[in-house]
Amino acid sequence: MKMRLSKSIVGNAEAEAVSKVICEDGYLGMGATTREFEADLAMYLGVETWQVVSVNSGTAALQLAVQAAMVAAGKKASDLPEILVPSLTFVASFQAVSAMGCVPVPCDVLENTGTLDLEDAARRLTDKTIAVMHVDYASNPWKIDRVYDFAKSHGLRVIDDAAHAFGCRHHGHKIGSFGDLVCFSFDGIKNITCGEGGCLVAFDEASAAIAADSRLLGVRGDTAKRFSGARSWDPDVTLQGFRFHLSNIMAAIGRVQLGRLEGEFIPARRALYEQYRRHLEQMPAVRMLETDPADFIVPHIMPVRVPAARRDEIVTRLDAGGIPTGMHYKPNHLLTLFASGAPSLPHAEKLYDELVTLPLHPGLSANDVGLVCGQLQKAMDS
Ligand SMILES: *Cc1c(COP(=O)(O)O)cnc(C)c1O
């Protein structure tokens, strides 16, 4: 069977949990299982249950975070509020900002990590800036304290796009256990999956309450009703809402996955990453991204840097050798919607030319990593 770049690791336990929702509970929407999943997440992260707002995608979590930042700043879309976003990220980070009527301002990244370059972000501050987004690129919480300090000194909210970082720790603290507005994705290939899903972790009650209502079409207090199996037949709606809630079916998958994280997925991902490190140390022309030894990384993807002039040829050779590769990411300022499409952020563009993502998921073996690195070595030598 052909090797996969990334993959959902699901099986009988997830199937049984879904089957229980369908055959025994019979209620497929947002209900008791969703509530239990939120409680499990809160317990895992070490936060209160009110802080965790589950949704049906990571993108939805980001949209709710943007909305909370807008409400807190007293801004409407017609004010054209701006949010600083590192350009090297999944297009979801940008789309979530523009979907809410805010302007995503592309910022450069640090060449050695691919994470937000705060000096560049500082140059892009205006009186319309309401928030700064940090993306834990390749699961790297790199110096995120500095982002919080920066935000504090400029009166901004912080949106942590932690889609890659579920299970990671920054200086001993789990991502999602501290901060402001932290967004996780549980899509098919993330560190845990619901099929599709995500959550926002908020650290102030106002934002959590806004997000909880907003995910259910803005119906006030509907979350508590749904969790007790009731509905709101006499609703009031005070803000724009969305159909972002997570169903019992997806939550059932998420609960099983969360239970497998510490014992199975984290050690597997970290062991594969270590194997990559040992092989890549022997290849001076292939560079890994830098991480802080004080951070605990649970790698979601495995991007490496190769000489730009040879990148495409190396990708072709790997493909011919049966090794799938990816590209994380085309910088968003090069997309027509989010800028002129013109080059302007040198580090993001340099990484775009150098990056190749190698296969990484818990379904791979040490032998598979050896195979990938053998093919990579061959491609480099040719
Ligand atoms: C996956 C991802 C998202 C969006 O999550 P979905 O669940 O796919 O909507 C956002 N940002 C980054 C960096 C991601 O990798």
pLDDT digits (tens, 9 = 90+) for 183-242: 999 999 999 999 999 999 999 999 999 999 999 999 999 999 999 888 888 889 999 999
175, 187, 244, 298, best to mutate for ligand 1 pocket (most atoms within 8 Å of CB)? 187
Q: Which of 136, 139, 24, 138 lies closest to 147, judged by CA? A: 136
Q: Which of 17, 51, 378, 66 lies closest to 206, judged by CA? A: 51
Q: Which residues of the chain have pLDDT under 70?
A: 341
pLDDT score recorded for residue 48: 98
From the CA of 247, how far away is ligand 1's center (Å)?
A: 19
- Confirm or reject: Cβ of 291 under 6 Å from ligand 1: no
The beta strands (E) that lie in 226-358 are given as: 287-288, 302-305, 355-358
DSSP assigned state of 7: -
Sort 330 into a burial class: Cβ within 10 Å, 0-12 / 13-18 / 19+.
middle
Cα separation, 165 vs 184, whole angstroms: 8
pLDDT score recorded for residue 235: 86
pLDDT score recorded for residue 22: 97
pLDDT score recorded for residue 251: 98
Q: Which of 266, 243, 159, 244 lies closest to 197, judged by CA? A: 244
Cα separation, 259 vs 333, whole angstroms: 38
8, 59, 116, 300, best to mutate for ligand 1 pocket (most atoms within 8 Å of CB)? 59
Q: Which of 68, 32, 31 lies closest to 201, judged by CA? A: 68
Query: Does the pTM of the predicted model rise above 0.85?
Result: yes
pLDDT score recorded for residue 220: 92
Q: Is the peptide bond before 329 cis (omega within 30 degrees of 0)?
A: yes
Question: Looking at ligand 1, which atom is closest to the CA of residue 135?
Answer: 13
CA-CA-CA-CA torsion sign (278, 281, 282, 288): positive
- Confirm or reject: Cβ of 161 under 6 Å from ligand 1: yes
* Sequence-distant contacts of 123-126: CB under 8 A, at least 24 apart: 124/84, 125/84, 125/154, 126/82
What order do you get walking across the sheet with 355-358 strand by strand? 287-288, 302-305, 355-358
pLDDT score recorded for residue 231: 85
Contact 109, 115 (CB under 8 A): yes
Question: Looking at ligand 1, which atom is closest to the CA of residue 137?
Answer: 13
- pLDDT (tens digit, 9 = 90+) per residue, 245-274? 999 999 999 999 999 999 999 999 999 999
- Confirm or reject: Cβ of 187 under 6 Å from ligand 1: yes
Q: Which of 38, 33, 43, 36 lies closest to 55, judged by CA? A: 38
Question: Looking at ligand 1, which atom is closest to the CA of residue 96?
Answer: 10
pLDDT score recorded for residue 339: 82
Three-class SS of 139-195: HCCCCHHHHHHHHHHHCCEEEEECCCCCCCEECCEECCCCCCEEEEECECCCCCCCE
pLDDT score recorded for residue 160: 98
Contact 332, 364 (CB under 8 A): no
- Confirm or reject: Cβ of 163 under 6 Å from ligand 1: yes
Q: Give CA separation, 173 vs 39, 179, 304, in Å.
A: 19, 10, 26
- Confirm or reject: Cβ of 157 under 6 Å from ligand 1: no
